[in-house]
Amino acid sequence: MSEDSNPLKAIQDRIFSVSTLTDIEPSLLELIVQPERILEVSVCLKRDSSELVIYKGWRVHHDTSRGPGKGGIRYHLAATVDSITALATEMSLKTALVDIPFGGAKGGIACDPNQLSEHELERLTRRYAMDIYPMIGTYRDVPAPDVNTNEKVMAWFADTIWAFNKENTTSVITGKPLALGGVLGHQGATSLGVMITIKNLMAKFNQTLAGKKIIIQGFGKVGGPLSFLLHSAGAKIVAISDVSGAIHNRFGIDIPALSLFVKNGGVLSEFRQADKIPEKQFWTLETDLIVPAALENAIDAEIAQNISSKFLVEAANGPVTEAADQVLKENKVLVVPDILSNAGGVISSSFEWAQDRQGYMWNAKKVTDRLADKMSQSFEEMWARSQTSKISLRQAALVIAVERLAQAHLYRGIFP
């Protein structure tokens, strides 16, 4: 992997890039950039065939100056120590920006869960939980689901940790089933957070979502619910893509019909109420808003050069490369950064963590209202900093986050 494509170097460079916009000492900025600890483990799995397979896994604590580590667990073949560390760094920035009492962490296993049976997936999860057990705890590090993991995986993970702890401390992990101390609305929280961000963005230009033409990359845990929310608000989702390909309907895709089609085992690119189009054409469509909601580095400089949309809201983690970001800026495409727009999931996790510690579940309205308040407040702070300092929204978000991390380190001091 070249330095240009290294996700860890990319996020570290972005942090250093705002050094001229703050009064933070260079040595303190260097401290903020570096991860606190990285645990690499060999995760042994006995397949149903009795074959023994060993996968690489990681758990990274990037910065816990503001609270316990917080970050998801992903199962993906492309996972590497650098990609996991980069995502942990983003979590530090995200939790600081939205001002919740967590630091940044991330974990994962380099594997393809689609090639595993359910029993194999459970054994893999429990072995991984055992391997990283020393890093996990209510006030140390609180994992959550991420790419290719869900509440079932979190239940297995939690049960394993509880077995080692000899106590059922539900606040040790979030994104759990409701029966095990989960929070109402967690599964759609990231999508709802993106939706709130889009509405706040439109309001700044005295616009609404009604009739807006939108394309969405990804139709999974984030893109799927988000498509439905936008469709329900009157927007026209004219194109959607996933790993199977891209589809387009200039009059707007019937999202309820597509959702039912995919739920029943259909492949998105084979949905007959829309035309299948090449991926390159997907990015060049004339739209009002683009929402990348898949994996990181989805939009490079070449793709960015062909984007004609006025707005781009990052629903995935790190979907725009640094080179692409510069192109979009030159072409006057307004980008809302991921550390704000997709923070709904971690905010919801903070609610679950708080509820589990209190032993009292909030109702759905309280969860939704508090999520909306936190997302909107953070958006306004980012927008105001951008306007007063005459910097991009990404720069404004980074400055706010880095300053909060620096403040925490300054108050805590260096021990011993």
Count of CA atoms in the C-beta half-sphere (13 A) of 212: 24
Q: Structural domain of residue 46, as residue ranges?
A: 35-172
- The number of beta carbons lying within 10 Å of the beta carbon of residue 36 is 17
Asked whether residue 109 is domain-assigned, the answer is yes
R_g of the chain, CA atoms, integer Å:
21
- The CATH number of the domain holding residue 143 is 3.40.50.10860
Residues 194 and 258 in one domain: yes
In 228-272, where do the E strands start and end?
236-242, 245-248
Q: Say if residue 145 is in the same domain as residue 219.
A: no
Residue 390 lies in a domain: no
Active site residues: 106
Is it true that the peptide bond before 416 is cis, omega within 30 degrees of 0? yes
pLDDT tens track of the chain, all 416 residues? 344 568 899 999 999 999 999 999 999 999 999 999 999 999 999 999 999 999 999 999 999 999 999 999 999 999 999 999 999 999 999 999 999 999 999 999 999 999 999 999 999 999 999 999 999 999 999 999 999 999 999 999 999 999 999 998 999 999 999 999 999 988 899 999 999 999 999 999 999 999 999 999 999 999 999 999 999 999 999 999 999 999 999 999 999 999 999 999 999 999 999 999 998 899 999 999 999 999 889 999 999 999 999 999 999 999 999 999 999 999 999 999 999 999 999 999 999 999 999 999 999 999 999 999 999 999 999 999 999 999 999 999 999 999 999 999 999 998 88
65 and 165: one domain? yes
For the entire predicted model, the pTM comes to: 0.95
Q: For residue 292, how many other CB atoms are within 10 A of its CB?
A: 27
Give the DSSP letter string of 348-380: HHHHHHHHHHHT-PPPHHHHHHHHHHHHHHHHH
Same domain, 39 and 127: yes
Backbone angles phi, psi at 387, to 5 degrees: -70, -45
DSSP at 249: -
- Same domain, yes or no: 245 and 135: no
Of 310, 341, 372, the domain-final residue: 341
Domain count for the chain: 2
- Classified as helix, coil or strand, 218 is coil
82 and 221 co-located in one domain: no
Does some domain include residue 287?
Answer: yes
CATH number of residue 277's parent domain: 3.40.50.720
Dihedral sign from CA coordinates of 357, 358, 360, 364: negative
CA nearest to 20, candidates 8, 29, 7, 33: 29
